[in-house]
């Protein structure tokens, strides 16, 4: 198996086995870039149970996730196997309430009050 195929299989496995996955620079406890920090912060604040994948720890995954999703930037959020987007998209979806709707549709637990507070603070 080629290295690319192996990385794709590894990424597919992560995405398939976790309801919510954030491919990010750093970890949810210690993000290593502002964009990763913002998305992890939103998920943490909303009480979403998510798996963080530190792309800085693995060059194969760091490049592989960009090819896998055909999306050029990190972080990348997946919900129930579906690519949602990066920082700008997740921020917009949080503020519009679309992220709540997605979590509701996919059966992902989160704190609705916290989501409302984010919207109020950014209104």
Q: Which domains does the chain have, with CATH numbers?
A: 3-121 (3.40.30.10)
CA nearest neighbour of 61 among 9, 18, 102, 105: 9
Residues that constitute the known binding site:
33
Count of Cβ atoms closer than 10 Å to residue 101 Cβ: 11
* Confidence (pLDDT) at 13: 97
Residue range 14-18: mean pLDDT, rounded: 97
Residues that constitute the known binding site for [2Fe-2S] cluster:
33
Q: pLDDT tens for residues 108-123?
A: 999 999 999 999 999 8
CA nearest neighbour of 14 among 2, 5, 23, 26: 23
Q: pLDDT tens for residues 48-77?
A: 999 999 999 999 999 999 999 999 999 999
């Amino acid at each position: 198996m080629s290295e690319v195929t192996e990385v794709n299989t590894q990424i597919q496995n992560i995405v398939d086995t976790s309801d919510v996955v954030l491919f990010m620079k750093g970890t949810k406890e210690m993000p290593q870039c502002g964009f990763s920090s913002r998305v992890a912060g939103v998920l943490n604040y909303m009480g979403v149970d998510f798996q963080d994948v530190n792309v800085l720890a693995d060059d194969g995954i760091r490049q592989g996730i960009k090819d896998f999703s055909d999306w050029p930037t990190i972080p990348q959020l997946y919900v129930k196997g579906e690519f949602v987007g990066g920082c700008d998209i997740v921020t917009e979806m949080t503020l519009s309430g679309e992220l709540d709707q997605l979590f509701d549709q996919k059966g992902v637990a989160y704190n609705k009050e916290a989501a409302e507070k984010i919207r109020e603070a950014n209104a």
